[in-house]
Amino acid sequence: MKKILLVFAVAVLYILHQDFWFWRTAHPLVFGFVPIGLFYHGCYSIAASLVMWLLVKFAWPSNLEREVEQQISEEEANA
Amino acid sequence: MIPAIVVFVYLAVVLYIGIFAFRHVKGKEQAEGFFLANRSIGPFVFLFSLFGTNMTAFAILGSSGHAFTNGIVTFGLMASSSGLVIPLTIFLIGTRVWALGKKHGFMTPVQMFRDRWECSHIGTLISFVQAALLVPYIIIGIMGGGTTLNAVSGGLVPYWFGGAIVALVVMGYVFFGGMRGTAWVNTFQTALFLIFGAAALVVIGVGMGGYRTAAQQMLASPALAPLLTRERISPLYFFSYTFIPLSAIAFPHILIFTLTAGKMAHFKKTVILYPLCIMAVWLPCVFLGVMANRVTDVPQIRAKQEARRVLATQGKTMTPEARDQLREQSAADDVILQLLDRYAPLWLAGLLGAGIMAAVMASDSQILALSTMFTKDVFAFYGGKERFGETVQVQAGRLFIVIITIIAYLVALRAPETIFELAIQYAFSGYAALSPLLIGALFWKGSTKWGALAVTVWVIATVVAVAVFQSVVPAPAPGPAVVIWSLGGTEVLSRTPGGTAVFGFMPVVPMVLGSALLMFVVSLVTAKPAATTIARYFGGPKSLERADAH
């Protein structure tokens, strides 16, 4: 279930990249000089970072890490 | 001359870091030590160096130039899409490649492909295609170095000399410092352009009299207001660009760099912070590129705007050659340099020039990657290591670094830059279309070497086809695309002012989908590798023991 939710979050973020709703307007100018389309994609970058944090927190491939550590300790024991 | 002196000091610091800072490190005469820093890079250097490796001259100078011409869309096209796709591929693919590298000792992607699919010459072909797509970056890096030194010295340092200095500095620290020297130089460079990107934003903003006024003036101008929206770019084109960042993990220098992490946990910070680093570098570059349109007292910027205006209003009645000439005049890759020259005090312009130089010199990791590929995929694979030994293997890699740098420099002196800028555009699509090789190898037991061969041949064919098409059919004037082939009222193939469209998409979309389809279909109907081989990749340690026992 956790993995399905994470896949869903990534898919939603991918779709949100196509922000057709701000396509033809510069308004409002955030802080008086940043066009809304640029501000949106700045916020999008922050959202991408948050989703990456969720992936690292809840879907980290720790099995790969364990396999490598196990092999290293076996090699050290053999040596 | 002060900015040029600052840049020269910067080059000396870089040379020191790359060559001398690690001269006592153990094992650097072994292949793992020289090419992979003994797989022991720490988390901070791993993040900054991986990010810096991706931030080429194209990313820094090209982004502001693209934004100058196309507006704020540049950030969504190239930065925020990369902020999602690149860390995602590092998370999914980079971590797996790292683990396999640790377990089986791989140092290049092709070593892994050869082992995974039990192939030899197909691996050589993949290595050749990867190298061919990488060389233009090295040439562009040397060209960028020559241009930047020439610009910051006010013409006192000639282009050929500037290019030679940059080539020598890069060659020096890659030759002596290997991966560890290159990684630390990249870390230093990334810190520089993160700091100076922000400094440039503030200094130029103050010089222009504040961004609020500039933004209002642009909105009031019918010619400039569209640059603050995305109305000049079609949504399909915008969507297509989300396929381009797939190229990042397929670049050999990026994938080889993922093998250098000391622990898999080092990937965590990189994956999480990568989108923020991209934002920190690209947002100032794109914003400054857009705002440069409001600068009216810099003749070079005015000339670019005038060329753009003539192209837009009279382009349709001009010859293709005249249009190309105007395009060259309106090219704005030096727009950040022009802004610094106009608004930054001399000493700061020097520091900012050093920051730009840092981006230009990102070709170091590409040179090292080519050397690693030559040494492991060709020299060692065809018996060189067994015949001559480990130390000669590293010396062969070093000799290759010298040869490739000299060739790149000689080519940079003689060939026009635009050819290699185009080649880089093809390279992005080519590498993106190679990404199904990695996905097939790492995630699908059923993938085969024949599927890999089909993908590689497809990539060669499509990159050549797009290049030939764009050279045969001249680019139209700004405005609607020229339809070359339509089927039942649907536009199949069009020539756009900036490139090619297939069903309205950039060529990268059919290239990637075609690669994925070929990998799937050809693998389905061809013989799989031995079960023992597949077990080593998908079965975990117990299966590995079983496989070895058989």
Residue B383 has pLDDT above 80, yes or no: yes
With CB atoms and an 8 Å threshold, state whether B286 touches A38: yes
Which CATH number goes with the domain that contains B184?
Answer: 1.20.1730.10
* pLDDT at position B22 over 70: no
Within the 525-544 window of chain B, which residues sit less than 8 Å (CB to CB) from chain A?
Answer: 540-541
Is pLDDT at B438 greater than 90 in this prediction?
Answer: yes
pLDDT of residue A29: 92
A39-48, B86-95, B378-387, B529-538: the lowest-pLDDT one = B378-387
Q: What is the pLDDT of residues B183-204, one digit of tens each?
A: 998 898 888 878 877 888 888 8
Residue of B nearest to A58 (CA): B268
Q: Is the pLDDT of residue B210 over 70?
A: yes
Q: What pLDDT, on a 0 to 100 scale, did the predictor assign at position B544?
A: 43
B297 three-state secondary structure = coil
- For the record, the structure tokens of B133 come out as 């797509």
In a domain, B208, yes or no: yes
Res. B449: pLDDT tops 90: yes
Binary contact (A37, B225; C-beta < 8 A): no
Task: Say what percent of chain B tops pLDDT 90.
Answer: 39
Which pLDDT score, from 0 to 100, does residue B550 have? 36
Global pTM value:
0.91
Q: What is the ipTM, given to two decimal places? A: 0.95
pLDDT at position B106 is: 93
Most confident of B14-18, B177-181, B273-277, B362-366: B273-277
Domain carrying residue B246: 2-418
The CA distance from A56 to B42, in Å, is 18
Residue scoring higher pLDDT (B361 or B364) = B364
Task: Please report which helix (H) or strand (E) contains residue B496, including its range.
Answer: strand B490-496
Task: Give the model's confidence band at B205: pLDDT under 50 very low, under 70 low, under 90 confident, else very high.
Answer: confident
User: Picking from B93-107, B162-176, B260-274, which range would have the lowest pLDDT averaged per residue?
Assistant: B162-176
pLDDT of residue B549: 39
User: What tens digit of pLDDT does each residue of B346-358 get?
Assistant: 777 777 777 777 7
- Indicate the residue type of B73: V
Whether the predicted pLDDT of B422 surpasses 80? no
Q: What's the average model confidence in pLDDT over B409-413?
A: 85
CA angle B238, B241, B246 (to 5 degrees): 155
Instruction: Please check whether residue B148 lies inside any domain of the structure.
Output: yes
Question: Is the pLDDT higher at B9 or at A35?
Answer: A35
Q: What is the longest distance spanned by two Cα atoms in chain A?
A: 67
Measured in angstroms, the CA of A75 and the nearest CA of chain B are apart by 11
Average pLDDT of chain B, as a whole number: 86
Would residue B294 count as lying in a domain? Answer: yes
For the sheet containing B482-487, what is the strand order?
B482-487, B490-496, B499-502
Range scoring the smallest mean pLDDT among A64-68, B13-17, B144-148, B300-304: B144-148
For the ranges B20-29, B135-144, B366-375, B468-477, the maximum mean pLDDT occurs at B366-375
Q: Place B457 in a pLDDT band, splitting at 50, 70 and 90.
A: very high
Cβ of B231 under 8 Å from any chain A Cβ?
yes
- Which of A45, A56, A65 has the CB atom closest to B275's CB atom? A45
How many structural domains are present in chain B? 1
CB B466 within 8 A of CB B429: yes
Q: Count the neighbouring beta carbons within 10 Å of the beta carbon of residue B485.
A: 10
Residue B223 above 90 pLDDT? no
User: What pLDDT is attached to residue B488?
Assistant: 85
Task: Give pLDDT, residue B3.
Answer: 74
CB contact under 8 A, B287 and A18: no
pLDDT (mean) for B7-21? 84
Number of Cβ atoms within 10 Å of the Cβ of B262: 15
pLDDT for the residue numbered B548: 43
CA distance B110 to A67: 23
End-to-end CA distance of chain A: 43
Q: Report pLDDT for B100.
A: 94
Mean pLDDT throughout B15-34?
A: 76
- A17 to chain B: closest CA residue: B81
Residue appearing with tokens 């622990």: B263
Q: Report the DSSP pairing between strands B482-487 and B499-502.
A: unpaired
Distance CA(B526)–CA(B194), nearest Å, equals: 49
Portion of chain B with pLDDT greater than 70, in percent: 93
The band of B527, judged by pLDDT with boundaries at 50, 70 and 90, is very high
The nearest alpha carbon in chain A to B233 belongs to A23
**pLDDT value at position B543?**
45
Q: Mapping DSSP to helix (H, G, I), strand (E, B) and coil, where does residue B25 land?
A: coil
Closest residue by Cα to residue B229 from B462, B71, B96: B71
Q: What pLDDT digit, counting tens, does each position of B95-125 carry?
A: 999 999 999 999 999 999 999 999 999 999 9
| Mean pLDDT confidence for B243-255 | 94
For an interface test with B, give the residue of A38, A65, A70, A74 to mutate (most B CBs within 10 A): A38
Is B236 part of any domain? yes
Give the per-residue pLDDT at B74. Answer: 92
Is residue B105 in a domain?
yes
Instruction: Say if B497 falls within a structural domain.
Output: no
Residues 6+ apart with CB under 8 A from B313: none
